[in-house]
Amino acid sequence: MTSDASLPIDIETMHASARRLLEPDAVVPSAQELETLTLLLKGHLALIIPELGRAASRRRGDDSLARVCARMAISESRRKLRIEPHPALSSHLAYARRLSRSLNVLCDHYEELCGARPEVGR
């Protein structure tokens, strides 16, 4: 696989993973479950960041708000991925929620730039 190869992006699954911690009635996971979910979120981010970057690059010369916001969201998500959370459960939960919000934003930008809005009323 070359560096220009696109990977399949399952936006619905990514949104569902992010929602697990963001729903108003979300159950606080155990430490083990939280660790697993955090790894899943990081994996989703690792997939969508380069794909969104490619989608934004394909719109060269288009300084639209969508393209600029997508690039800013990518930068912010990369910054969040470099952070190491404090080992306390509450700190790790807050970190995972920040990753979830970043993933949701990236998915929204990907849908907007690629014209893929699979469902209404997420």
pLDDT at residue 85 in the model: 87
| Mean pLDDT computed over 5-22 | 87
- pLDDT digit string, tens, across residues 64-101: 788 889 999 999 999 999 999 888 999 999 999 999 99
Question: So where are the chain's domains?
Answer: 32-114
pLDDT band at 119 (very low <50, low <70, confident <90, very high): very low
- Asked whether the beta carbons of 111 and 117 are under 8 A apart, the reply is yes
Weakest mean pLDDT among 8-12, 77-81, 115-119: 115-119
Query: How many Cα atoms sit within 13 Å of 80 on the Cβ side?
Result: 24
- pLDDT digit string, tens, across residues 22-60: 998 888 899 999 999 999 999 999 999 999 999 888 866
CA–CA separation, 92 vs 84, rounded Å? 9
